[in-house]
Amino acid sequence: MNTVLPRRVFLMSLSAACGAVVSRPAGAQALVDEKDAQAASLGYVAEAKRADTKKYPKYAAGQQCSSCALYQGKPTDKAGGCPLFAGKQVAAAGWCSAWVKKP
């Protein structure tokens, strides 16, 4: 019995499937869930105005992800990447305690 052909087909299919997952378009990234452990530990909220000012007194009006030095999207984008949440996007109008003023 020759098993080379089925194994080869399987490996080619596996390779194609992995390539499809890795090469997702940037717009296909999921948004960070506020209940995600990393997000919760940083106090991330999708709308900056809902930031917990008692727990995070350094929050100030006007601070949001799109004005953070870590934000990787354009200021006009609704969401963009953030190195704190690898593989996911944050809302441009969001906020977390790691917010850093752009230089």
Name the nearest CA neighbour of 59 among 26, 68, 10, 74. 68
> What CATH number belongs to 27-91?
4.10.490.10
Tokens standing for residue 47: 């709308």
pLDDT greater than 70 at residue 1: no
The ranges assigned to domains in the chain are 27-91
Whether the model pTM is above 0.85: no
pLDDT (tens digit per residue) in 47-100: 999 999 999 998 998 899 999 999 999 989 999 999 999 999 999 999 999 999
Give the Cα separation of 17 and 21 in Å (integer). 6
